[in-house]
């Protein structure tokens, strides 16, 4: 005879009880940690450069490389302080939350659905704002800020994969949508970047072609 069945707790992070939802549960905490750290560093550097420019109007930011890649041309515009203060201050606050979330997940914490929803809302707002800035940079200001582009580059995948994490927890009604997106999760992100890069190449093609 066999003994009575015993229950066994499933450790967080296993396939039966994933601590982190999403198609790549082991990667998402690292994405949030590294993406948050990179974004935070870029936003902090932009803030320092902006203060330097305020103190000395003749200061040339370190990311002003040529007529197109020119932080100085972007920093002095109204769009660079949409809410009355330098936009990078928003990035410092937002990426600090993303970085903290990633570190907490790496430590093995399980975040509730409401937290994932709040993280998605913040990432979504940041993504909308980033695309407004992309439009302004390309078609109104006529210059690109390299540090800003770093922020763009980390904001998009953070939003995409946090959205997948929320869909994974959202219930049976969205499982078909989640299953399709999870299977090809890298495709929308890659296409997203291809479109933005294509727009930047097209907008400044006269300058880029002069370098060839």
Residue pLDDT, tens place only, 23-66 = 456 789 999 999 999 999 999 999 999 999 999 989 999 999 99
Q: Which residues of 164-192 are buried (b: 16+ CB within 10 A; e: fewer)?
A: bbbbbbbeeeeeeebeebbeebeeeeeeb
Model confidence at 4: pLDDT above 50: no
pLDDT at position 182, please? 74
For residue 19, CA distances in Å to 59, 103, 116, 122 come to 48, 13, 12, 21
Give, in order, the Cα–Cα distances in Å from 53 to each of 12, 59, 68, 72: 49, 6, 19, 8
pTM for the complete prediction? 0.85
pLDDT at 156 over 70: yes
Q: How many angstroms separate the CA atoms of 115 and 124, rounded? A: 14
Burial 46-63, CB ≥16 within 10 A → b, else e: bbebbeebeeeeeeebeb
Average pLDDT over residues 179-184: 76
Q: Say if residues 87 and 80 touch (Cβ distance below 8 Å).
A: yes
**pLDDT band with cut points at 50, 70 and 90 for residue 184:** confident
pLDDT score of 164 more than 90: no
**Calpha distance 88→44 (Å, rounded):** 7
Spatial separation of the C-alpha atoms in residues 16 and 126, rounded to whole Å: 33
pLDDT greater than 70 at residue 1: no
Q: Which of 149, 47, 158, 150 is nearest to 101 (CA)?
A: 158
Contact 19, 109 (CB under 8 A): yes
Mean pLDDT value of segment 136-162: 96
Q: Rg for the chain (alpha carbons), in Å?
A: 21
- 3-state class (DSSP) for residue 144: strand
What pLDDT score was predicted for residue 66? 93
Q: Looking at the domain that runs over 28-210, which CATH code has it been given? A: 1.20.1440.130
The string of pLDDT tens digits covering residues 102-138 is: 999 999 888 888 999 999 999 999 999 999 999 999 9
Residues 32 and 27: their CA atoms lie apart, in Å, by 9
**22: pLDDT strictly greater than 90:** no
Per-residue pLDDT, 162: 93
Residue of 208 and 156 predicted with greater confidence: 156
CA distances from 81 to 68, 130, 175, 184 (A): 20, 13, 40, 37
């Amino acid at each position: 005879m066999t003994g009575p069945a015993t229950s066994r707790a499933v450790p967080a992070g296993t396939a039966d009880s994933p601590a982190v939802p999403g198609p790549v549960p082991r990667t998402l905490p690292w994405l949030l940690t590294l993406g948050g750290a990179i974004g935070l560093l870029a936003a902090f550097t932009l803030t320092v450069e902006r203060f330097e420019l305020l103190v000395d109007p003749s200061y040339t930011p370190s990311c002003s490389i040529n007529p197109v890649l020119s932080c100085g041309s972007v920093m002095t515009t109204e769009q660079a302080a949409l809410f009355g203060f330098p936009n990078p201050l928003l990035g410092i606050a937002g990426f600090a939350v993303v970085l903290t979330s990633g570190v907490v997940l790496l430590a093995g914490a399980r975040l509730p659905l409401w937290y994932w929803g709040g993280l998605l809302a913040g990432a979504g707002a940041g993504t909308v704002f980033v695309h407004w800035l992309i439009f302004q940079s390309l078609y109104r200001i006529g210059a690109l800020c390299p540090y800003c582009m770093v922020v763009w580059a980390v904001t998009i995948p953070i939003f995409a994969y946090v959205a997948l994490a929320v869909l994974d927890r959202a219930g049976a009604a969205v499982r078909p949508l989640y299953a399709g997106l999870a299977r090809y999760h890298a495709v929308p992100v890659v296409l997203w970047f291809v479109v933005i890069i294509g727009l930047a190449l097209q907008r400044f093609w006269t300058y880029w072609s002069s370098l060839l």
